[in-house]
Amino acid sequence: MSILGGISVIFDLDGTLVDSEPNYYEASRELLTHHGFPGYTWRDNEQYVGIGTWETLGIWKTRYGIAAPQNDLLAELNHRYLALARTSTPVYPQMRKFVELLAGEGVPMAVASGSSPEAIEAILTGTGLSAWLSTTVSADEVAHGKPAPDVFLEAARRLGAAPADCVVLEDAAPGAAAAHAAGMRCIAIPYVAAQADAPAFATAELLLRGGQRAFTARAAYDWLANPAPAS
């Protein structure tokens, strides 16, 4: 039996397992430019990290006064994003090692993401992560996206795991808030370093302020086996 006992691990996808934010930024920039709002910057994009695609589009419709129906915008953004995601989505090397390490121990794993089911499938298949991560939940499949706990609770349900036995890996404050609301432990790996002091990250049991640079598969595994106080 694994020394991790009955633990199940739930991964956020974008910015946690894979560095997909540059692709989301480019797709978002293209969409907004197409609808008459050029000049969208990376700094503009940072404020939407961790927020579901549907929620983001709702904000844009109000902020920019976009007339197109939200469903049409979602289809357009997904089309633009998938064209990029299928060809250039890098996996964080230590995250891949962590997934492989957990798989070797038979730890149940899932992905719970604000991205569409199509985007999740494309990325996991294209990166080879689908070999270990077959249980997935999109925010499109639940009532509310992060920071609501719905995607994580649904992931736990599909794994047959109690929320208290689940550990979430997240790069964004809304995701950390969602994990806390779900009653799950959280390893927080901020994608945007300047957001490490966000109140939601303070709820994480392990906060790696250095983001992916501070994450190693072995250290994360050891923490799961013997949790230490939050840092």
Q: Tokens 């995601």 map to which residue?
A: 85
| Count of beta carbons in the 10 Å neighbourhood of residue 226 | 8
**Cβ atoms of residues 160 and 107 within 8 Å:** no
Widest Cα–Cα separation across the chain: 58
Locate 131 and state its tokens: 């070999």
**Torsion sign, CA atoms 92, 178, 102, 190:** positive
Which residue, among 95, 67, 79, has the nearest Cα to 211 in the 3D structure? 95
3-state secondary structure (DSSP) of residue 17 = coil
Exposure string of 138-161, with b = 16+ CB inside 10 Å and e = fewer, is bbbebeebbbbbbbbbbbbeebeb
Catalytic one of 12, 14, 140, 171: 12
Query: CA–CA separation, 175 vs 149, rounded Å?
Result: 8
Residue 171 among the catalytic residues: no
Locate 183 and state its tokens: 């009653």
* Residues involved in catalysis: 12
